[in-house]
């Protein structure tokens, strides 16, 4: 009986290790080609049916159209000189926010009310309300996908009024523009006022520094400061969804991520709202402790939070690892991004990874 138990245990462990192996390693390059799948745009009805409960939508009789607003904004980037002037003007206009938030956002629609400064912020994850109160900065995630909602760069009214955040804008659909390495927006419904009660927006049930809407949007526990239970609260955890481990393959992914950051670690520690989102099922990747903050999602869309499912937040990623046929310390991995795919060789030598760019595809 004891022999049979150990036999079952051995079979179970073998199946687990095989599953782990399949999640992280690939034997054939053709089995792990990274492809982009364009999401089908939502209709207005689908956007409204799937809107968050905390969002109120009002149709306006008088409004600034998407075309007028977006064309006026795009003129700022038609020439190098215009681009440089606009960026310098923005730095001057939003100097207080840029100092407090350390360049984590693009800003628009500044407002000072009752000695509290507000502005709308946007980063790779989406839209935020930024606040400076008593010299303390806070950012509140709106949970409204830029795949569905467009906020006018010019707001005709105050954005915070009568205990509401209220933003004029449009329903939109988006499509990738690989020539511009970005996304194109098309209005499918102008003249909307999007309203959220400040109490709903600013609620932070676990007092960890991230509002509940943010935590719900990305799968964190809004009732627990330390989602992954590693002893580090979410606000200070560089990988808040998974406990970090240290081994040579977690270090490989950490090295791959760090080489493109261009920001020193001391500055990254001051950027709690700057996240790099990735999709993976590999435990080595999940258990990293990188210099920058990461949000790691499963590759199965149905297992992702709704916000992530409908918002194209992933700007790149890394493939599974391919082992070299002869050298047990040599591996290969692909990196995808806006510019295409880069192929790396990665050799683990003297307890350090040596990465070499060995080719790729430019899109």
Whether residue 303 is contained in a domain is answered as: no
Whether residue 23 is contained in a domain is answered as: no
Which residues of the chain carry a pLDDT beneath 70?
1-18, 28-39, 77-78, 176-183, 264, 338-339, 362-363
Q: What is the pLDDT of residue 27?
A: 77
Q: What is the pLDDT of residue 41?
A: 84
Whether residue 292 is contained in a domain is answered as: no
Question: What is the sign, positive or negative, of the torsion defined by CA atoms of 22, 28, 33, 34?
Answer: positive
Residue percentage of the chain with pLDDT more than 70: 87
Q: What is the pLDDT of residue 103?
A: 86
pLDDT tens column, 26-82? 876 554 544 555 667 899 999 999 999 999 999 999 999 999 998 888 777 667 777
Alpha-carbon span 164 to 159, nearest angstrom: 8
Whether residue 261 is contained in a domain is answered as: no
Tokens describing residue 79: 């020439």
Alpha-carbon span 99 to 136, nearest angstrom: 11
Whether residue 88 is contained in a domain is answered as: yes
Residue environment code for 213-247, b if the CB has 16+ CB neighbours within 10 A, otherwise e: bbbbbbbbbbeebbbbeeebbbbebbbbbbebeee
Q: What is the pLDDT of residue 29?
A: 55
First to last CA, the chain: 60
Q: What is the pLDDT of residue 118?
A: 97
Q: How many folded domains does the chain comprise?
A: 1
Candidates 231, 241, 255; CA nearest to 345 is 255
Q: What is the pLDDT of residue 129?
A: 98
Alpha-carbon span 172 to 82, nearest angstrom: 26
pLDDT tens column, 188-227? 999 999 999 999 999 999 999 999 999 999 999 999 999 9
CA dist list (Å): 350 to 292, 323, 354: 25, 18, 10
Segments forming the whole domain that contains residue 163: 44-202
Q: What is the pLDDT of residue 32?
A: 58
Whether residue 129 is contained in a domain is answered as: yes
């Amino acid at each position: 009986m004891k022999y049979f138990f150990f036999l079952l245990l051995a079979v179970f462990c073998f199946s687990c290790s095989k599953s782990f192996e399949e999640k992280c390693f690939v034997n054939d390059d053709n089995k792990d080609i990274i492809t982009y799948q364009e999401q089908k745009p939502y209709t207005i009805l689908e956007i409204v049916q799937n809107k968050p409960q905390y969002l109120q939508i009002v149709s306006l009789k008088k409004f600034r159209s998407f075309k007028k607003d977006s064309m006026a904004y795009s003129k700022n980037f038609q020439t190098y000189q215009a681009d440089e002037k606009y960026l310098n003007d923005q730095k001057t206009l939003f100097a207080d926010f840029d100092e407090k938030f350390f360049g984590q956002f693009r800003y628009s629609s500044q407002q000072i009310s009752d000695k509290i400064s507000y502005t709308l912020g946007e980063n790779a994850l989406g839209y935020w309300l930024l606040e400076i109160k008593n010299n303390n900065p806070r950012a509140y995630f709106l949970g409204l996908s830029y795949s569905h909602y467009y906020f006018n760069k010019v707001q005709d009214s105050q954005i915070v009024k009568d205990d509401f955040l209220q933003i004029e804008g449009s329903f939109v659909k988006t499509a990738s523009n690989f020539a511009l390495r970005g996304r194109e927006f098309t209005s499918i419904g102008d003249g909307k006022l999007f309203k959220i009660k400040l109490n709903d927006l600013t609620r932070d049930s676990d007092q960890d520094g991230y509002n509940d809407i943010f935590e719900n949007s990305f799968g964190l526990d809004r009732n627990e400061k330390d989602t992954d239970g590693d002893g580090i609260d979410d606000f200070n955890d560089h990988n808040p969804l998974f406990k970090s481990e240290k081994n040579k393959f977690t270090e490989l992914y950490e090295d791959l991520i760090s080489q493109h950051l261009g920001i020193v670690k001391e500055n990254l520690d001051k950027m709690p709202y700057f996240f790099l989102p990735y999709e993976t099922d590999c435990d080595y990747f999940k258990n990293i402790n990188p210099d920058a903050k990461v949000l790691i999602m499963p590759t199965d869309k149905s297992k992702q939070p709704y916000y992530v499912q409908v918002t194209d937040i992933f700007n790149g990623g890394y493939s599974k690892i391919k082992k070299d046929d002869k050298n047990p310390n040599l591996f290969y991995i692909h990196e995808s991004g806006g510019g295409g795919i880069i192929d790396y060789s990665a050799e683990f030598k003297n307890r350090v990874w040596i990465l070499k760019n060995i080719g790729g595809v430019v899109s």
